[in-house]
Amino acid sequence: MKKLTLIPLIALTLLGCAHLMPGADPLVVRTEQAQSGANATFDFVLHLDDNNRGFWRTNAPAFHQFCEWLRTPLQYKASQEVPRAVLMQLDVDDLKTAYKMNKSAANSNVLFTAVGTLTYAIGQSMSWSNIIAAPIHN
C-alpha cells in the first residue's frame, strides 16, 4: 500500500508543478509531460548499458538487471512483441486516447495508474543514469 501512495508524489516531483492553461485537462497534460521525457530517458540508460553490458553485468548488476527489465519483450495488442519500455509508452498513449474519448472515472483511474507506472520507471532510469553516468572525482 505504501508503494501506491508514493507514485503520485514521484509523479509530481518528476513532472513538476507547472501551471496549466485554463481549460486544460490536468491528467492529459501531466500524461503528455511524462510521455515527452520517457523515450529519451529510457534510451539513455539502455545506451549506457549497451556500451558495455559485460562490465555492468559484473560491476553494477542491479543497473544491468533494470536495463534488462526495460528490454523484456512483452505482448502489445496480442499481435506484436515490444520491449517493456516501449510497451509502457504505448499503453499510456492508448489509455490517454480512450480517456479523451470518454472521461469516465474508470478511464481516469486506469490512465492515472499507467502514468504512475511509467513515471516510476522514468524515475528509476533517471536515478540510474545519475549514478552510472556521474563523473568520478578523486
Residues 6+ apart with CB under 8 A from 106: none
Confidence of residue 138 (pLDDT cuts 50, 70, 90): low
Domain span including residue 34: 26-133
Q: Is residue 13 part of a domain?
A: no
pLDDT at 75 over 90: yes
Q: Which residues pair with 75 in a beta bridge?
A: 81
Identity of the residue numbered 118? L
Q: Which residues pair with 73 in a beta bridge?
A: 83
What is the predicted pLDDT for the residue at 9? 39
Confidence of residue 76 (pLDDT cuts 50, 70, 90): very high
Average pLDDT over residues 37-63: 93
Q: Is residue 20 part of a domain?
A: no
Query: Domain count of the chain?
Result: 1
Q: Is residue 58 part of a domain?
A: yes
Cell triple for 42: 529510457
Residue with cell 509531460: 33
Average pLDDT over residues 16-32: 77
Buried b / exposed e across 87-108, counting CB within 10 Å, b at 16+? bbbebbeebbeebeeeeeeebe
Q: Is residue 11 part of a domain?
A: no
pLDDT at 46 over 80: yes
Q: Is residue 93 part of a domain?
A: yes
What is the predicted pLDDT for the residue at 8? 42
Cα-based distances in Å from 84 to 70, 72, 91: 5, 5, 10
What is the predicted pLDDT for the residue at 22? 72
Q: Is residue 68 part of a domain?
A: yes
pLDDT at 115 over 60: yes
Q: Is residue 2 part of a domain?
A: no
